[in-house]
Structure 1
Amino acid sequence: MTTPPPVSRASGRWSSRRPSWAGRNYVLLAAAAVVTQLGSHGATIAAAFAVIETGGGAAEVGLVTAARTLPLVLFLLIGGAVADRIPRHHVMVAANALNCVSQAVFAVLVLSGEPRLWQMMVLTSLGGTGQAFFSPAAEGMLLSSVSGDQVSRAFALFRMAMHGAAIGGAALGGGMIAAFGAGWVLAVDAAAFAVAGLLRAFLDVSHIAPRARGGGLLADLREGWHEVIGRPWLWSIIAQFTVVVAVIGAAQGVYGPMVARDELGGSRPWGIALAAFGVGTLLGAVLMTRWRPRRLLLAGTLCVFSYAVLPAALAVPLPIEALVVAMLLNGVAIEVFGVTWMTALHQEIPEEKLSRVSSYDWFGSVAMLPVATALAGPAESIFGRGPALWGCAVLVVVATALVLLVPEVRNLTDRRTRKDPAAGASGVSDTTGAPGVTEAPGVTGAASADAEGTVRRPG
């Protein structure tokens, strides 16, 4: 652990009011994440409705969503290895620049006329490529930037700021689509990426030791794989979320907008429902600033059963008022998992391998997502929308029940104590930095990260 630099006079009275772990990096990363969340949560809704407004249905929405997630599957592992080799903030800035350009072109096409399906697929695939490199770098930055007894609180407070922005972004996005159209929401998202990239360019990573080049990219990937496969709690939860993220991605990204159009009244109520989920995650983050469960993964995994709420609610479908309540409670439960998962990774994984482990984590989360979203339309045609959504709910329950059979998931404990603040930490941290992401729902969407709109688990 490095020693934090002394507080300069230039930092003044403002620095003295911050917690010791809320250094310069924390402020920059938090500000960038908030800006991105404001843009991306509205843009996720806007992309789906841009397809719908051109006459597309569930199949077309699924293809555009799959076009975004396919590059994640292809490039995530490479992105993780790259982020453990070069300064992580350089990777983050380059990814933000790519996302900015792709969203700006998407916005121009929507505002200037009727975009073609292939054009929307190409542009969303560029956005997915940017996220494939951004996510492991951002999560590695996040996990390596805090240490000591307040790790969980730091993660929870950071996520609280993100979720507050997500609430505003989802509600604002739904309202802007109704008032001005999807194109302007996409333009706002492009501007948000530009601002976030500029903020991240000023991050200080001098406290992180330079990485040895090692034996090459493939050797780095093998080393990350052995780190994952040697920890049953890690690979089992990654496998669990391979299923969970895929089915919730289809429910939220494909069926959700269609149910909103046919049953709920359009984009505005769907935006309100997603905002309610955001409120729930905000409340969950508040809870996790005060609650520190001893069995980290047991407490978190039990909360993953709540992921079944979304597809079940859409299958009924519940009226908007009940859907809002269900999404609120779901958000609280999912945030418990998000913080406990991040704390477990911070405690167990060496700092120099964080981005590679994160890339395998992300890879598991999105591996089946392109397939699930692309097949959502055909599944609706064959089985009907209701049965397809009930099937999503059942798969969530089964996958989560199976992972609880793994002893390490039930028994992994929080080893930190107030007498030894650094106990169990990865060993390469600094109080000058602080949490820096997460995507996802995300599932994601329903869950996490400096979310560029992709559904994944909340970590």
Structure 2
Amino acid sequence: MRSERGDGGRGPGRGGLPAVRRGLAALREPRFRLFFGGYSVSLTGSAMASTALPFAVLASTGSLTDVSVVMAARIVPLVVLLLIGGVAGDRLPRRRVMLAADTLRTVSQAALAAALLTGRDDLLLLVALAALGGVGEAFFGPSLDGLVTALVPARLLQDANALLSTARSVASLIGPAAAGLLATVVSPALVLGVDAVSYLVSSLMLAALPVDGGVPQKGVPPLVQLREGWVAFRSRTWLWAVTLQFCAFNLLVWGPFLVLGPITAERRYGGPDSWGLVMAAYGLGALAGGLALLGVRPRRPLLVTTAASLCWAAPSACLALHLPLAAVAAGALCAGVAQALFGTLWPTTLQEHIPNEMLSRVRSYVSFGSLALGPVGLSLAGPLAQRVGVGRVLAVGALWQLVAACAVLALPAIRGLARPAAGPAEKVPAAAR
């Protein structure tokens, strides 16, 4: 695969240590460095919480269905409010939108931890608190890519995204292992309190940023802004094709994996610490993939990410086949590499091909479509596994991922989309008006 390096993709790149050093240039930007620090802390807390939450709910209520319901409760408001969050990100200062979102997540996660620690196992209360966290995420996510464009020059966008992806990878590596240990030694619910503190740190860093990001568009009616974002989304085949792929992925692969993986770990591999090992392997793979992309610019990024998405079938397949824990961890490692490639190249593609003034709206449509059926996958994974078996549910997801990735790879719009010579889009193409 031909790659490019340097500003604007001049000349062939070779990777290695010099490329990594070039990729770290974004950290020399003070504003990005400030945001990166707070965001990295919150990512670590979230990685810990996602590992501990199923065990905390299971310890509190003893029901697999309750685990599915509480996990889905966070996704439902996220999906429902994503489009509103996208309009807010293009209509209001993005930093302020993200600051409000992190404040809400601090409060909701602290309350959830307190409820579980004090034995308040009322399912409706747990669902409500988890849902508030989803509300915060619905407003935070769409503004993220647009804020990054205000923190670094255009030539450093991919490197900034690679660093953010690497931070996610480090969090995925450290968070689950720490959560597994803390959950085993003390309590899974206490891990949620640590996550609340991490959101507080992130909100403090956002409050200290000297820029808001974006160009607020208060004069345009919100419904008109929604329509403009939809036109920009549907006019690009590569956008809606990848979105459809990940809609099915979250329904059939990732949702069941998040619910049934911890359950399988509890029944077959020894409990939270073994699941923490699997997720740490996922984080290690993501870390390796993120570092490999620093300073290296594939000319056709969507071709790379779509081919790599075949690896997402690996961990579910290993669990379905009842392979040893080491094999499951190896599958998670491969999936982590794929996640790093996607987490770096996908947002960079959006930033380079979508005008900044509608980036939050387009991002919200992508996220909405990708996550729309996620709550269904999370909610049905437990009950369906009780009826037909955990292995069968995971096997169907793994097989689907292989078929879907090959189908998307066959699209010319995916294989042919190359990096623009002039950097990020600066105006709305006629097809997107």
Answer whether TM exceeds 0.5 for this pair.
yes
What's the counterpart of residue 288 of structure 1?
293
State the match for 1:337 in structure 2. 342
Evaluate the alpha carbon distance shift between residue 53 and residue 145 of structure 1 in structure 2; reply closer, same or farther with a 3 A threshold: same
1:269-288 to structure 2, matched below 5 A, reads: 269-288=274-293
Q: Mean Cα displacement is larger for which, 391-400 or 120-129?
A: 391-400
Task: Quote the Cα distance in structure 2 between the aligned partners of 1:425 and 1:324.
Answer: 37
* 1:268 positional shift: 0.6
Provide the secondary structure at the position in 1 that maps to 2:226: helix
Q: Indicate yes or no: 2:358 matched with 1:324.
A: no
C-alpha separation in 2, matches of 1:310 and 1:324: 7
User: Matches of 1:427 and 1:27 in 2, distance apart?
Assistant: 25
1:352 to 350, 357, 365: 357
Quick check: 1:199 aligned with 2:205? yes
Contact residue 43 and residue 167 of structure 2 kept, 8 A: no
| Residue identity matched to 2:301 | L
Q: Match of 1:84, SS?
A: helix
Answer yes or no: is the 8 Å Cα contact 1:62–1:253 preserved in 2: no
One of 344, 366, 374 as aligned partner of 2:379:
374
- Give the aligned residue type for 1:69: I
The one-character-per-residue Cα deviations of 1:253-278 (angstroms, maximum 9, x if unpaired) are 21011101101100011011101111
Distance 1:235 1:49 in 2: 35
Alignment-derived partner of residue 172 in structure 2: 166
Amino acid at match of 1:237: V
* CA drift at 1:377: 2.0
User: Equivalent pairs: percent with the same residue?
Assistant: 37
Q: How many residues align?
A: 404
Which of 77, 80, 88 does residue 86 from structure 2 map onto? 80
2:312–2:334 contact (8 Å) kept in structure 1: no
Letter in 1 for 2:191: V
2:231 to 202, 226, 232: 226
The alpha-carbon distance between structure 1 residues 238 and 163, as it changes in their structure 2 partners (threshold 3 A), is same
Q: Counterpart in 1 of 2:7?
A: none
Contact 1:251 1:310 in 2 (8 A): no
Equivalent residues of 2:215, 2:357 under 8 A apart? no
Question: 1:69-108 to 2 correspondence within 5 Å?
Answer: 69-108=75-114
Q: Secondary structure at the match of 1:115?
A: coil
Q: 1:55 to 1:21 in 2, by over 3 A?
A: closer
CA distance in 1, matches of 2:348, 2:87: 22
- Name the residue aligned to 2:431: none
Task: Confirm whether residue 125 of structure 1 aligns to residue 131 of structure 2.
Answer: yes
Does the CA-based 8 Å contact 2:285-2:332 persist in structure 1? yes
Work out whether residues 180 and 272 of structure 2, in 8 Å CA contact, stay in contact via their aligned partners in 1: yes
Cα separation, 2, equivalents of 1:296 and 1:384:
38
Q: Distance in 2 between matches of 1:21 and 1:387?
A: 45
User: Unaligned 5+ residue runs, structure 1?
Assistant: 1-17, 417-422, 429-459
Local SS of the residue matching 2:425: coil
Distance 2:123 2:294 in 1: 44
1:414 maps to 419
Q: Does 1:426 align with 2:428?
A: no
Distance, in Å, in 2 between the alignment partners of 1:46 and 1:337 is: 25
Amino acid at match of 2:366: D
Structure 2 partner of 1:56: 62
Instruction: Give the Å deviation of 1:71.
Output: 0.2
Structure 1 residue 395 displacement after superposition: 1.7
Show the 5 A alignment for 1:299-310.
299-310=304-315
Work out the CA distance in 1 between the residues paired with 2:338 and 2:132: 32
Q: Please report how far the alpha carbon of residue 40 of structure 1 lies from its aligned counterpart in structure 2 after TM superposition.
A: 0.9
What residue is the counterpart of 1:189 in the other structure?
A: 195
Q: Any unmatched runs of 5+ in structure 2?
A: 1-23, 428-433
Matches within 5 A, 1:192-271: 192-205=198-211, 208=213, 210-271=215-276
Give the equivalent residue in structure 2 for 1:39.
45
359-368 or 109-118: which moved more?
109-118
In 2, the alpha carbon distance for the partners of 1:58 and 1:392 equals 19
Segments of 4+ moved more than 4 angstroms: none
